Amino acid sequence: RLVESGGGSVQAGGSLRLSCVVRDDTYSNHCMAWFRQAPGKQHEEREAVAAYGSDGTTSVADSVKGRFTISRDNAKNVLYLQMNNVKPEDTAMYYCVAVGPRSSAIRALNVMPGAIPFANWGQGTLVTVSS
Contacts of 41 (CB under 8 A, 6+ apart): none
Q: Indicate the burial class of 127 (C-beta count within 10 angstroms; 0-12, 13-18, 19 or more).
A: buried
DSSP state of 106: H
Beta carbons within 10 angstroms of residue 45's beta carbon = 10
Question: What sign does the dihedral 100-103-108-112 (CA atoms) show?
Answer: negative
Q: What is the pLDDT of residues 57-68, one digit of tens each?
A: 999 999 999 999
Instruction: Look at residue 38 and give its three-state secondary structure.
Output: coil
Q: What is the pLDDT of residues 4-32, one digit of tens each?
A: 999 999 999 999 999 999 988 888 889 99
pLDDT of residue 102: 84
| Contact indicator for 31, 103 with CB cutoff of 8 Å | yes
Q: What is the pLDDT of residues 91-113, one digit of tens each?
A: 999 999 999 888 899 999 999 99
Element (H, E) at 50: strand 47-52
Closest C-alpha to 49, from 35, 66, 30: 35
Instruction: Look at residue 119 and give its three-state secondary structure.
Output: helix
H helices present in 36-89, as ranges? none
